[in-house]
Chains A and B, each alone.
Chain A
Amino acid sequence: SAVISQKPSRDICQRGTSLTIQCQVDSQVTMMFWYRQQPGQSLTLIATANQGSEATYESGFVIDKFPISRPNLTFSTLTVSNMSPEDSSIYLCSVGQPLDTQYFGPGTRLTVL
Chain B
Amino acid sequence: GEDVEQSLFLSVREGDSSVINCTYTDSSSTYLYWYKQEPGAGLQLLTYIFSNMDMKQDQRLTVLLNKKDKHLSLRIADTQTGDSAIYFCADSAHGNTGKLIFGQGTTLQVKP
Contacts and interface: CB of A to CB of B under 8 A. Distances in A.
Interface of A: 1, 30-31, 33, 41-45, 48, 90, 92, 94, 96, 98-99, 101-107
Interface stretch (B30-38, B54-62, B69-77): B30-38
Interface string B17-61: 000000000000011010100000111110010000000000000
Contacts of A44: 102
Interface of B: 30-31, 33, 35, 41-45, 48, 88, 90, 92, 96-105
Per DSSP, chain A at the interface is: strand
Contacts of A94: 43, 100
A42 B102 contact: yes
A99 B43 contact: no
